[in-house]
Structure 1
Amino acid sequence: MSSYPVGRGLLAAFMLSAVASGVQAANEIEEIVVTARAIEESVRDIPVALTAVSEERMDQFGIESMMDLQALTPQLDIGRATSGSGTSISIRGISSPSTSIGIEQSVAVIIDGVYFPQGRTINEGLFDTRQVAILKGPQALYFGKNATAGVISVETNNPGDELEASVRVNNEFETDDRTYEGIISVPVNEKLGLRLAYQTSKMDEGYIEQNGPAGGDQYRTINSVNGAIDVWDNPRATDFFPQEETTYLRLTAAGDLTEQLSYNIKFSRSEFSQAYTGGGELYECPTLRGVAHTSQLATDPTDLGRTNYRVPIPVPSVDCGFDGSRGWNDVPPAIAAVNPLLNQFGGGDSGEEYESNIVTAKVAYTQDWFNAEAILNFHDQETRWVGDQDGGAATTIFAAEQNEFENYSAEARVVTTFDQPVNFVLGAYFQDTNLWFDQDVIFAFLPAGGFVVGPRNSAAANPDDEFTAYNKLSETDGTTQSVYGEIVWDITDRWQITAGTRYHHEVKESYFIQPYVHPFLTGLFTLYDPTNPNTRPQFTQTFSDLIPELTVRWEPTDDLTLYAAYKEGFKSGGFSNSAIASNLSPPGYEDFTFEPEKNQGGEVGAKASLVDGSVLATFEMFYYEFEDLQVDYFNSQQFAYVTENAGGSETYGAELQLDWATPIDGLTLSSSVGYLISEFTEFFNFCYVGQTPAQGCPRLPGQTDTQLRQNLEGNTRPAAPKWSGFLAFNYERPLGSALLLGITGNMQFKDETTLSASDPNATYPSYETYDANIRIGSPDGKWQLALIGKNLTDELAIRGAANVPGTGGNTGYDDGFRGDLSGGAIRGREVELEFTWRL
C-alpha cells in the first residue's frame, strides 16, 4: 500500500491551516444556508457533519452529475451498475450492494424534499440545481428510513422575481459527447412564476473500448428434444461503452397565493440510455498468472470418489488485464427473434434504457407562531436492459430484464416559532410503493464437441422460452407510515439541546417465481409449479422501530460551534427480487429475505470561522456500530445470489475540512482529509471461489460446497479506504474591464480500497486523480467559455470486483484455485469545451 497520497493530503491540510492562522483577512468565505433540520441554518452553525456544494461551486469545478460530487467529498463513493439496483452509494464506508434490486441504498437520495428509494435515481441528472448537501452519518429523524450512512439532498432551482434565460453547449472530446441545455424563468405575476429547464446529450464513443473479434462470436446450443447441436452467429456489439444519451425536462410553477400561503409544483421527465457490457472488465486472472480460464469437472487422480473436482482450462483468446477495453457481443439475432425480452431493442442489440416521471407538489403556510409544510409526490420509473454478462469476449451468458417502480408519498410537518426557549417539530410521512421485476437468462454451460453449449428446447410450451435457461418474475408491494417529533430547547443564547424520535412502521408483500426452467437445469433451478406452493416463495414482512436522536450544541463565541450527537439509524428489511431460486440453496428461501439493518453511535464536531471570516474549518469524529448489515453477493457454489444479514460491523474515523478566502483577491483554497476504519465485527460469509483451508475455508466432514463458510471478522468493508481527501483552488481575476478569468484545480486521493465483501484478495492500490479548468467570460456573467479537464492522468481505478461465473474451483480443498475477477472502473480522462450565455 502506497502512503504518499496520505502524506500529501495531510501536509496540504496542515499547510493550509498553518498559513491561514497567521494572515490578515482580506475576503470572507461565502455563507451557505442548508435545510437539514426542517429550518434554514448556516453550515457554520448547524450541528451536523455535511458538505454543501453551491450552484456557483458546481460551475467552477465542473460538477455535472451525482458521480462528480465525489471530487469534493472524500468519504463519498458512488459506483454505477447496469443490473441489480443500478448503483452503490457509500458514505464513511457504509453502502448497499448494487447486485440486488430489492435492497435499498444506505444513503438516502432526497430531491426537492422527497425521498427516492431506488438506486437508479442517480440517472436523474444534476442540472439547473441550486445546491447539493451531503449529510454524513445517520439522518433518520428528519429523513426517515434508509439513511443509515447519510443523505444526498438536491435542491433544484425555482422561478425568480426577474426574467431569466440561459443556453449552455458542451462538447467532451475524449468520448465525443455533446450536451445542450436551455433554461427560461418567467415571473408571470405575483402569484405565479414559471421555470422550464431542458438538457439533452449524446455520446458517440465512450471510455471502454471494444476489443472482441471483429466478426463477433458464435453461440452453440444443444436441443433437449433431439440432441442436435446448432451454431448461431452473434455480432460484436458496439465499439464503445457507454455511448450514453440523456434527455431531461423540468417544469416548475411556484408562487405566493397570500402573504402566508405559498406553493411549488415540479414536473420532471428523465430519459437515460447507454450501451451495455455487463459483467465489468476481466482485470485479474490469478490462477493462470494473467491468462483467463474456465473451470471444468474432471476426475481427481488421488480420490476417485470425489465428484466436484475441477481443473482450470486456459482461454488465451480472452483478454485479461485492465486497460479500459473488453469484448462484448449482442444476442444472436435468430435467438433474440423468438424472445421479446431479449429482442426489446431489435435485432438482439444490447443496451439499457431508463425512463422516469416525477411530480412533486409542495404547500407552505406561515403564521406568527408556526410554519407548516406539506409535500405530495408521485414517481414512476422503468428500466430495460439486454446484455452480455460473461465478462469476456467469449459468449457464454446473456440476460434481459425489465423492471418497473412506482412510488407515492406524502409528508406534513409543523415547526413552531414561539418567542421562548422551547420549540417543537412534528411530522408525519406515508409512502406506497410497487416494484415489478422480469428477467430472462440464457447461458452455455454444457461441454459438447469441444465447446461449451447452451440449452435449447424446441418443444417449449411457450415459444418465447425456446432458448431460455430460466426466467424470473417477482413483485413487492410496500407501505410505510411514520411519525416524528423533536424538542428544540435554547437553554441560553450559547447552549442548545435537541431531542427527538421517529416511529417507523412498514409492511412489504413479495413473491417470486421461475415460470420456466430448461429441462437440463431443473436439478439446479427451481421450476414454478402452480400445484406446489414451495416453488412460489411468498412473504409478508412487517418492520417497526423507534429511532431516537439527541444533539447538544455549544457556541462559546460567535465564530465557534461545538456539538455532540447520539444517533440511530434504520434501513428496511425486505425481499431480494433479483435473486435466483436454486435447488442448492438453503431450504425455505432463506437467502431471499433479509432483516432490517440498524446502527447506533455518535459524533462530536467543531466548526470555526477564523481570521475575520476568511477561513471556515470543520472537524468531526464519529463512531457507529451496525448490526444485521445487509449484504448480497453471487455464490458460485450454489449458482445463486445470496442476500443475508452480516452479524455486525463498525465504522469510526474523522474528517477535517478547510476553506480559505486568501488575501489574494479572487483566490480560494479548499482542502479535506478523512481517516476511516470500517470493518466487520462479526460475519461468517460463504467462502470465495477456490479458497483453501489454509486461507480460512475449512471443510468439515460431510459438508457440501454450499455449507462452507469463512470468518470475516476484522476485514475491511468495500469502498472504505483508510485515507482519502482532496486539495483544490479557485482563482478569479478581471482582465481589464471587459473580461473575467477563472482557473480551478483539484487533486483527489484515495488509499488502498477493498473491492469485495467476500474476497479479501480483491483490492485496488492507492491512487490520485487531477482535475483542472480555465474559464473566461464577462464580469457580469452574461457569457463564459470554459475548458474543463477531469481525471487528466487517465487513472482507471477499479470500484468493485466479482468472481467471473464458471471460473475457480475446489473450494475448501488444498488444491483450490481462485476465480478470475471482473470489475468496473471510474471514468477515464474527460476534456470538455463549454460555452454559456445568460440573459
Structure 2
Amino acid sequence: MRRLEYLCLGASPLIFAVQPAMAQEMETQPAAVERAADDIVVTAQKREQSLQDVPISIAVVTGEALSDFHAKDMADIAASVPNLFVERLNAADVIYIRGFGSAPSNFAFDQSVSLYQDGIYAGRGKQFEAPFFDIERIEVLRGPQGALFGKNTPAGAISIVTANPTSQFEAGITGTYNFDLKGPEFTGYVSGPVTDNLGVRLAVKALDLGGYIPNRTTGKRDPRRNQTLARLTLQYENEGFDATAKLEYSRSRTKGAAIVLSTVTAPLEITKDRYADDYPFGFAESNNVTSKNASLTANYEIGDHVLTSITGYSTYDANRSNSYAKDVPAIYLNRIFEEFEQFSQEIRLASSAGKPLEYIVGTYFDWSDYALDYPRYYSGLPSGLTGSNVSIFDQSAQTLSFFAQATANLSPAFRVIGSARYTRTKKRGNFETITLSGMAFGAATTAKGRISEDNVDPSLTAQFDVTPDIMLYASYGRGSKSGGFVSNTVGTVDSTFIYRPERSTNYEVGVKAALLDRLLTLDLALYDLTFKNLQTSVYDPTLSPPGFVTKNAASATSRGIEWSVGLRPAQGLKLSWSGAYQNAKYDDFPGASCLASQPASICNPAAPVGAPNNPANNNLAGYKLAFSSKWSGSLQAQIKAPIADRYLLATTAQMNYRSKFFISDNQDPVYGIQPAYQKFDLRVQFGDLDERWNVALVGRNLTNERTYSFAFLWPGSLSYTPSGHRYLEETRTIAIEGNLRF
C-alpha cells in the first residue's frame, strides 16, 4: 500500500491549495459534464447515489448535453471528458481511459474499457453502434471497475442509461439541418402511462448527412452517413415489484471513408481531399452495421432487500469495404464481414441502505459467438502479385462470475467499502487463411486454441465525510481483461494465436466538495494505474502481406490528476472547468516491434538474429503510450436570460483542448503525431420560458481545426504511392435546430 501512502501525501497540499478558491462565490454544473451534487443521481455502485457521494473518479454527461451539441457517437463525448479518448477508425471505435485501451487492429480484442447500456455488457462497440439518442445520462467511470461491473474493465467502464417512460404524457420532436454536412437529422419520442401500472416510451432517430472530405475521383464528399434507430421501452410497476423491457434496433450505413493521405517524411504534408476509388474491385466503399438489442430488468422487494434480475440479448452484423490508397483503379482491397451474438444474465441481491452493514451479492453469466471473414483482393501490386485470399476466424466464449460488495458504516462520517469478483472465462477459437484465386500473398496457415482462466478482482475503499459537504476517499482496486486470439493476421499459427490476459492495479485518493451552499463544487482525484501483460497490436508493414503483430507488453503505468470545478457567479450563469494531467509510459516491454522514432542502431527489423538491434532485444521501457495526452480538458459557460417574461435566450459555449499525442501505434515522428489543439463550440437558443418550443443555432469546431484520431503507414508493397493514412475528424459544422414539446 506504499503507493497509496505516497498519493495521500501528494494530495494533502493540493487539498489545502484549493481553500482560497472556496471563498469565491462560484458554483457547478457544466453543460456537457454535469457536476451538480444536488441534481445528479448515479448508479455507479449499483445503488442510486448522489454523484458527490460516490468514491470514484466519475464524469456524468446528461442527455440534454448530448442533444445540445448533436453528439452522434462516443468520440463526441470524449471531446469534453478529460482522460477519455476515442480512436476513430472505420473498423470500430476504440475507447481509451487514462491512456489505456485495446487497439482495433485485432478484431477479436475485448475492450479494456467496456460499455454497459441499461446494465447490459458490450465488449464490442458495434453492439450499440449509435446509442446516443433519448439518453438520460452517461456515466464515465475512470479506473478498474472489476468488482461490481466486472467483465473487461481494467481501465474503466462507461454506463449508458436510456430514458424511461414518464408518469405523465409527453411527446417531442427535434429537427436539425446541418449546412456543412448538407443533411437533416430528426429525433422524436412519445412517452406516458397506458394504465395505472404500465408506462410506454417510443423513441426514434434518423439522419442523412453528407461528408466533409472532397473525393476528387468520385466528385462526392466522404464519409456520407445514413442512420435509422428506434427504441421501445415498456415499464410495469406494482407494489414491491417493477420490470422494464427495452427493445432497440439500429441501422447504420456509411459510404466513403474519413481517410486522407500524408507524406511519411518531413516536412509533413497532408491532403485535404481524397482520391479513392468509389467501387474498388466492384464493391462499394462502405461501412454498414445493423444491431438489435433487448433487455429486461426486474426488481422485487423481499423484506428490506431488493432482488434484481438483468437479462440481455445483443446481436449485430457488419460489413466494410474501403479503398485507402491513391491508386485508381484500386490495386488492393480489404473487406470485413462480422457476425456477433451475445446473451447475458445477472442476478443480484441488495440490502437496504443506511444500516451499519450494507451489502450486494450477485452472479453473472454470458455467452457469445463471433465470426469474421476477412477477404483481400490484389491486382498488379508492385511485386506483380494478382489474386485474392481470405482469413476466416470464429470464437465462442463463456463467462461466469460471482461478486460481492460490503459497506461497513463504522460511524456516521466514516465507512469502509470492500468488493471482490471471481470470474471464470472459457474461449475457443479457430483461424484459417485460404488462397481464393491467383497467386498466394502470404502463408496459408491454420490455428486452433482454447483458453480457460480464473481471476479474482478485489477492491477496498475508505471514505470519510469531513463535513456533510466535503468527502475524502482513498481506494485500491484491481481489474482484468481476458486473454484471446489473433483474428486477422495472415501467417498466424498455433504458437502466435493466443495472447495472455492483462491485469491492472489502481491506487487513488480524492476529494469531493459542495461548498458555499452548493455554489462551488470541486472534484479532485490523484491516481496511479499500472497494467501487467498489457495487450498490444502493432502494425508491421514489413510482413507479407503487411499486418498487425499482437502480443503482451510486460507493464505500463499511468499516473496523474483529474479535476472538475463548477461555479455560478450570478443567477442564470454557469461556468465549469474539468481537466486532467497524466503521464502514461511503458515500464517494461521486451521484444517489442521497432518504433519509427527509434534509430536503426537501436532497433532494425532487418537486423540479423542475435544482433543487438534485432527487435528481439528491443525494449520500450520509458516510451510514452500512444493516444495519451499529458493535458486534456474542457471549459464551458452557459447563460440563460429571460426576455419580456415570456421568452428565454440560452447561450452555451465550450472549449475542449488536448496536448499533443501519438496517433500511430508505431509512434512515427512525422505522420504519427497529433499536435496540441483547442476546439470551440457554441449554441445559441431562443424559445419560450416553458421550453415548449425553441430554435437554436449550433456551431461545432468553429475555428475549423483539422485533427486526426489515428494514423498508419500504407506501404509500397500495397500501393504505387506509399503514404501515411490519417483518420480526419469532423471539421467545422454549423446547424439550425428546432424543437417542439407537447
TM-score normalised to structure 1 length: 0.81
Alpha-carbon offset, residue 420 of structure 1: 3.4
Corresponding residue for residue 679 of structure 1:
585
Deviation at 1:38, TM superposition (A): 1.2
What is the CA–CA distance in structure 1 between the aligned matches of 2:519 and 2:72, rounded to whole Å? 28
Native 8 Å contact 2:381 2:718 kept in 1: no
CA contact 1:687–1:708 (8 Å) conserved in 2: no
Q: Structure 1: how far apart are the matches of 2:679 and 2:542?
A: 38
Residue in 2 aligned with 1:225?
Answer: none
CA positional deviation for 1:798 = 1.8
Deviations 1:252-279 (A, max 9, x none): 00021x310100000000011101338x
Separation in 1 of the partners of 2:195 and 2:22? 48
Q: Distance in 2 between matches of 1:636 and 1:198?
A: 44
Task: Name the CA distance, whole Å, in 1 between partners of 2:45 and 2:166.
Answer: 25
1:30 is displaced (CA, Å) by 4.6
State which of 686, 699, 717 in structure 2 corresponds to 1:789: 699
User: Which residue does 2:573 correspond to in 1?
Assistant: 667
Residue identity in the other structure for 2:156? G
Q: How many residues align?
A: 715
Aligned residue number for residue 114 of structure 2? 108
Deviation, 1:607, is 0.3
Pair 1:154-2:160 in alignment: yes
Q: Is the 8 Å Cα contact of residues 29 and 614 (structure 1) preserved in structure 2? A: no
Query: In the alignment, what sits opposite 1:458?
Result: none
2:419 pairs, out of 496, 500, 507, with: 500
Report the equivalent of 1:296: none
What is residue 130 of structure 1 aligned with on the other side?
A: 136
CA displacement 1:76-110 (0-9 Å, x = unmatched): 11122112xx1111111111101111111111111
Please tell me whether residue 266 in structure 1 is matched to residue 185 in structure 2.
no
Determine the C-alpha separation between the residues in 2 that align with 1:25 and 1:575: 49
Q: Is 1:55 aligned to 2:60, yes or no? A: no
2:216 corresponds to 1:208: no
User: Which of the residues 173, 190, 196 maps onto 2:196?
Assistant: 190
Q: Which amino acid aligns with 1:743?
A: T
Quote the residue 1:483 is aligned against: 402
Q: Which residue of 1 aligns with 2:221?
A: 240
Distance 2:677 2:20 in 1: 26
Task: Judge conservation of contact 2:373–2:391 (CA < 8 Å) in 1.
Answer: yes
Instruction: Say whether 1:364 aligns with 2:322.
Output: no
Q: Work out whether 1:567 is the aligned partner of 2:486.
A: no
Quick check: 2:25–2:567 contact (8 Å CA) kept in 1?
no
- Residue of structure 2 in register with 1:831 after alignment: 734
Map 1:123-522 to 2 at 5 A.
123-203=129-209, 205-212=210-217, 236=218, 239-256=220-237, 258-277=238-257, 280-286=259-265, 321-331=269-279, 336=282, 348-390=283-325, 395-417=330-352, 420-444=355-379, 446-447=381-382, 453-455=384-386, 467-468=387-388, 470-516=389-435, 518=437, 520-521=439-440
1:525 corresponds to which residue?
Answer: 443
- SS of the residue 1:716 aligns to: coil
Q: Residue 690 of structure 1: CA displacement? A: 9.7
- Cα separation, 2, equivalents of 1:698 and 1:67: 34
Q: Is the 8 A contact 1:90 1:107 kept in 2?
A: yes
For 2:712, the equivalent position in structure 1 comes to 802
Indicate how the Cα distance of structure 1 residues 636 and 25 shifts in structure 2: closer, same or farther if over 3 A, else same: closer
Q: In the superposition, relative to structure 1, how do residues 690 and 329 fare at CA in structure 2: closer, same or farther (>3 Å)?
A: farther
Cα separation, partners in 2 of 1:579 and 1:14, compared to 1, 3 Å: farther
Partner of 1:79: 87
1:605 aligns with 2:510: yes
Contact kept in structure 1, 2:277 and 2:330, CA below 8 Å: yes
What is the deviation of 1:790? 0.8
Asked whether the equivalents of residues 141 and 548 of structure 1 are also in contact (C-alpha less than 8 Å), the reply is yes
What TM-score do you get using the length of structure 2 for normalisation? 0.91
Are the equivalent residues in 2 in contact too, given 1:685–1:758 (CA < 8 A)?
Answer: no
Residue 663 (structure 2) aligned to one of 755, 761, 768? 755
CA contact (8 A) 1:281 1:391 kept: no
Q: Aligned equivalents of 2:28 and 2:144: distance in 1?
A: 37
SS at match of 1:58: helix
- Tell me, yes or no, if structure 1 residue 616 matches structure 2 residue 521: yes
Give the C-alpha shift of residue 146 in structure 1: 1.3
Counterpart CA distance in 1 for 2:226 and 2:28 is 45
Change over 3 Å in CA distance of 1:35–1:426 after alignment to 2: same
Is 2:396–2:429's contact at 8 Å kept on the other side of the alignment? Answer: yes
1:368-427 superposed Cα distances (whole Å, 9 cap, x missing partner): 421111011111100011221336667231122211000000000111117631122101
Distance in 2 of aligned mates of 1:833 and 1:674: 33
Q: Which structure has the bigger radius of gyration?
A: 1
What SS class does the counterpart of residue 326 from structure 1 fall into?
coil
Structure 2 runs not aligned, ≥5 long: 1-14, 30-35
Could you tell me how far apart the structure 1 residues matched to 2:626 and 2:725 are? Answer: 15
Output the CA distance in 2 between the equivalents of 1:122 and 1:768.
29
In 1, Cα distance between equivalents of 2:245 and 2:256? 35
Q: Secondary structure at the match of 1:142?
A: coil
**Is 1:687–1:709's contact at 8 Å kept on the other side of the alignment?**
no
- On the 8 A contact 2:448/2:494 being kept in 1, the answer is no
Q: Do the aligned partners of residues 777 and 18 (structure 1) sit closer, same or farther apart at CA in structure 2, a change above 3 Å counting?
A: farther
Q: What CA distance in whole angstroms lies between the structure 1 residues aligned with 2:455 and 2:55? A: 25
Paired residue secondary structure (1:244): strand
Deviation at 1:823, TM superposition (A): 1.5
CA contact (8 A) 1:592 1:642 kept: no
Instruction: Supply the AA of the counterpart residue of 2:418.
Output: A
The CA deviation at 1:555 is 0.3
| Secondary structure of 1:325's aligned partner | coil
What is the alpha-carbon distance in structure 2 between the residues aligned to residue 690 and residue 500 of structure 1? Answer: 43
Deviation per CA, 1:680-712, whole angstroms, max 9, x where unpaired?
A: 111131124696423543865456999566322
Query: 1: distance between equivalents of 2:530 and 2:107?
Result: 25
Q: CA RMSD in A?
A: 2.6
Question: What is the CA–CA distance in structure 1 between the aligned matches of 2:639 and 2:328, rounded to whole Å?
Answer: 47
Q: 1:393 to 1:604 in 2, by over 3 A?
A: farther
Percent of aligned positions that are identical? 25
Give the match for residue 97 of structure 1: 103
3-state SS in 1 of match to 2:417: strand
What amino acid sits opposite 2:331 in the alignment? Answer: T
Give, in angstroms, the shift of residue 634 of structure 1. Answer: 2.0
Distance 1:644 1:391 in 2: 31
Contact 2:449–2:497 (CA under 8 A) maintained in structure 1: no
1:645 paired residue number: 552
Which amino acid is the alignment partner of residue 835 of structure 1?
G
- 2:468 matches 1:558: yes
SS in 1 for 2:439: helix
Note the alpha carbon deviations across 1:436-459, whole angstroms, 9 max, x for none: 111210124644xxxx6541xxxx
Q: Counterpart of 1:652 in 2: which secondary structure?
A: strand
- What secondary structure does 1:828 align onto? coil
Q: Is the aligned partner of 1:719 residue 2:596?
A: no
Contact 1:622 1:654 (C-alpha < 8 Å) held by counterparts? yes
